[in-house]
């Protein structure tokens, strides 16, 4: 058996001759260099396993659990809102900016929606109901004149959902 083969076997069994093939054992008997290799491997293993056990520093469990509890504190509205726009752990300035932009967008969007799709107010509802589907037959001239005055007043203060001209035509043609 060659030294190279024997040394490979020695590494696999940490230099122990107990697990070696008979040919390798025979080689060791006559080869001093390989015997030294075997001894070195055995010693390496002993040294490795003689290293003292290492223990985690005291209080590590407490610190881990405390950090988990800290992370699981219910977040305030500010943090929850910021979490929609920026990843967790982002710097405070990024979270503040995100919340500011969100509030500004909400304000602009709300204003646009209010003016764009405002449903009829109580006065407008009266007119719309009155002119719808033949109900106008039940009201007299005086009432129509009152409605027209109210309509014009409304038109000045806020635009109606439907075309006010249409209503005026209907009122006057009655």
Partner 1 sequence: MAKGTALQQAEIERLVERAKRGDQHAFGRLVEEYKDKIYSYVSRMLGDPYEAEDVTQEAFLRAYRSLPRFRGAASFHTWLYRIASNLAIDVVRRRRRSDNVSYSLDEPLETDDGEYDREIADDTRGPEEASGTRETQVAVRRAIMDLPGKLRDVMVLYELQGETYEDIAQILAVPLGTVKSRLFNARNQLKERLKSLVAAGEIEVEQ
Residues that bind partner 1 (CB under 8 A): 8, 11-12, 14, 35-37, 39-41, 43-45, 47-57, 60-61, 63-65, 67-69, 71-72
Shortest distance in whole angstroms from residue 82 CB to partner 1: 19
Q: Which CB, 39 or 161, lies closer to partner 1?
A: 39
SS3 content of the chain, % helix, strand, coil (to 5): 70, 0, 30
Shortest distance in whole angstroms from residue 116 CB to partner 1: 43
Shortest distance in whole angstroms from residue 47 CB to partner 1: 5
What's the CA gap between 87 and 91, in Å, rounded? 10
Q: Which CB, 71 or 156, lies closer to partner 1?
A: 71
Q: Which CB, 18 or 71, lies closer to partner 1?
A: 71
Shortest distance in whole angstroms from residue 80 CB to partner 1: 18
What's the CA gap between 158 and 69, in Å, rounded? 54
Pair 13, 19: CB distance under 8 Å: yes
Q: How far from the centroid of its chain's Cα atoms is residue 49's Cα? A: 47
Pair 15, 40: CB distance under 8 Å: yes
Q: Which CB, 44 or 79, lies closer to partner 1?
A: 44
What's the CA gap between 106 and 12, in Å, rounded? 70
């Amino acid at each position: 058996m060659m030294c190279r083969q024997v040394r490979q076997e020695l590494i696999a069994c940490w230099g122990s001759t107990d697990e070696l093939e008979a040919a390798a054992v025979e080689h060791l008997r006559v080869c001093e260099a390989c015997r030294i290799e075997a001894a070195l491997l055995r010693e390496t293993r002993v040294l490795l396993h003689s290293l003292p056990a290492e223990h985690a520093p005291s209080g590590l469990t407490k610190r881990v659990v405390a950090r988990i509890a800290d992370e699981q504190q219910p977040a305030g509205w500010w943090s929850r809102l910021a979490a929609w726009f920026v990843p967790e752990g982002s710097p405070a300035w990024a979270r503040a900016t995100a919340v500011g932009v969100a509030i500004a967008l909400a304000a602009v969007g709300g204003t646009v929606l209010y003016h764009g799709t405002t449903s009829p107010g109580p006065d407008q509802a009266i007119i719309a109901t009155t002119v719808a589907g033949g109900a106008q037959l039940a009201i007299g001239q005086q009432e129509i004149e009152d409605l027209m005055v109210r309509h014009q007043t409304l038109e000045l203060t806020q635009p109606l959902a439907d075309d006010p001209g249409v209503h005026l035509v209907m009122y006057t043609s009655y």
